[in-house]
Structure 1
Amino acid sequence: MFKPLIFYIGLRYTRAKRRTQFISFITLTSIMGIALGVTALITVLSVMNGFEAELRERILGMTSHATLTGKYGQLENWAEAENRIKNTPHVQGSAPFISGQVMINADRRVSGTMLNGVMPKNEPKVSEVGNRMVEGKLDDLVPGEYGIILGAELAKYLGTFMGDKITIISPQVNSTPAGIVPRMRRFTVVGIFKVGMYEYDRNMALIHIDDAAKLFRLESAVSGLRIKLDDVFNAPKITQTLGSELSDEYIVSDWTMAHENFFRAIKTEKTVMFIILLLIVAVAAFNIVSTLVMVVTDKRGDIAILKTQGLTSGSVMGIFMVLGTIIGVVGTFLGTIGGILLALNAGHIVHDLEKIFQTRFLPADVYYISDLPSKLMWSDVTTIALMAFILSLLATIYPAWQASKINPAEVLRYE
């Protein structure tokens, strides 16, 4: 049964007296340790959630949710296949594509890149590249005019601008009297896109699908169909159903097959980081043990007197558990508030620090994302706060139990 006296005495022991200033300092240190640990844990997990969400959004904005191809890596009757999946549940759109590795030569600069042939009117159905254009637009890709759209980092590396001429060198070869030579074609830069991910901005270029068919000698065939789904997280199940409804001449894959290890690594890293930071909170919480041990040692006379006045061992234990719980609750509360505020403003804080120190903490040529995203999840906040409180509560048990075992006769013998 809860007794107000136990709570009153436990709360009173948190106040400092002249001879217990050091104990109060240790108590304050325990509170700040828990608060800082909880703040760090909430902030770090929020930033990792933000990175994961941002990466998923940008990757899925450039890659297809699902891909339909033929057995031999080509799709001959793509229009027929598109009609077959058009009214399939969960399919929101589709677009044909041709993809291949090429070399790009611009004056003295050469770079390997992934060249994608797209259909400008259909591409917005399956990707966000049309919304990521820095210069030009997708409709500037006109068949027969051999225009090309480069990623921003690729254009920067090649030193090319709008209207410049570049040479595409294809792995396909031509037989000539002089021997076998690679196929080459001059293209004009008609656009530049920037996704914000170095992998795409540096290693991708777009041309019209008709020009790609001529370059790679595919005639009427395409590499496949890119498919957009209404539920990306249910893509494996949807593609499995779609594959079972189509004939064996088609192969259906989803985005998780290409990026499963990547997102699994992020999830593992998040779990490991949670455990490491939780250990920091645990260390701070178990500082409560040393604080309570010192309080018990200092209050031995008080405990003995309280016991002689009828206070039970259980009540004595409750007093010190109340004291330790107050330390844990205050530290957890301050840490939770600090973590929420820091997580919600992490991007602005980093941006201001970059301005102050005139540097970039996340350079675009090193990291996938050059800005610091943060996504606060209330389930994480609840879990962290609950774990910190439980650890604080567990830390009070041993010193409170030791206080309850104090024998009044032995303590008061020398008083």
Structure 2
Amino acid sequence: MQLRLDAEWDRVTQQLHTLAEAHERLQELLSAVLAISRELELPVVLRRIVTTAMDLVGARYGALGVLDEERTGLSEFIPVGITDQELAAMAGVGQPRGRGLLGHLIHHPEPLRTENIPGHPHAAGFPPGHPPMRSLLGVAISVRGEIYGDLYLADRLDGRPFDTEDESVVLALAGAAGVAIDKARLFEQVRAGAEQFQRLLLPHLPDLRPFTAAAIYRPATAPGLLGGDWYDAVLLPDNACATVVGDVVGHDMQAAAAMAQTRNMLRALLYDRCTPPSSVLTQLDRTLHAITDDPVATACLARIEPGDDAWTLRWSSAGHLPPLLISPDGGAEYLDAEPGLPLGVDASQPRPDHARPLPVGATVVFFTDGLVEHPHYSIDTSLRLLATTAAAHAGLPLDALCQTLADHPPGDGHDDMAILAVRTPPRT
């Protein structure tokens, strides 16, 4: 009797242990699915799928092959687990093209599991320098009913072959991976569409000779956000160069439309009257208040005027960040001055004008807050970082300078950004 009870107890204990392991693996799978679904950038999603699958089954190596348009080979191959030494040993070996077992899985997208890669009838061998691999688990990843690519896992860390439980877990992960890939591709399409729409609203800088100028716009990293950041520069009838950057509050169609409307109104006012920047901003504010329901906006409007021996920068701010002045010798300083109220707050309140002589070869950089806003830095810290970067690249052509500032922003990219740089020419 005692022997039977002991045997029954051992059986129940084993069942409980098996159930606990299954529950733990299910929790790991759910956590893995959530981790993949949180990513939006497609390259990050693809690599996360591989690393997650490797963690779930304890694989030493993993890879994801993306099918080409003909679906007969691979257009992209993302390996994980290969060491630097192993990569060096395969120097000169091109990307896998989808032959051997990889090709078999492409043409027969059922799960593939083998304990002996070299001995499989469809194996084509490894290229020179490739690390030896013994066991393989491969599954297809489908997106909207079409095979997108294949997930490959090789050699469990414990030396055992992949089993049916491993296959079931990876198949479940592949289903979630297809959804994550689809979401990431949709994110890319939405972001590209929003960026294209935004760029259509922004001007191409006209010929500003004798001045040189460049501008760049970057959308927010979040999907589908339309921004209200804008820039413009025009030569005026009195030979001054007018420049402006602005930021309409909001990240939607209304903000984008208000940005275009404000920019067009301002350009007309600049041509109509050669008055100080503060006067133009006041008239713009009154006009917007009278005939539109546009949201609040900030702006920095400037005129670079010719003088006898130098240039003079005159500017006025409607609640905007100060411009950055880069001297010909590479020094950088912000033109801090009293800002006025943003547009759309109180059209009756005047804004101050400010003036600063500019030497030949000086560069003035106007920008919006998306370039410098970061949740972990104060605005002063971000502004110092921006000035340091600008000073270090002061000798670049203006288009390269704008590109550098946009590529290495102190901000975190959560907001769109606009940068406009103007350089003063020699006096003639």
Higher radius of gyration, 1 or 2: 1
Would you say same fold, with TM above 0.5?
no
Question: What interval of TM-score do these two structures reach, taking the shorter chain for normalisation?
Answer: under 0.3
Compute the TM-score of the two structures, normalised by the length of structure 1: 0.27
Larger helix fraction of residues: 1
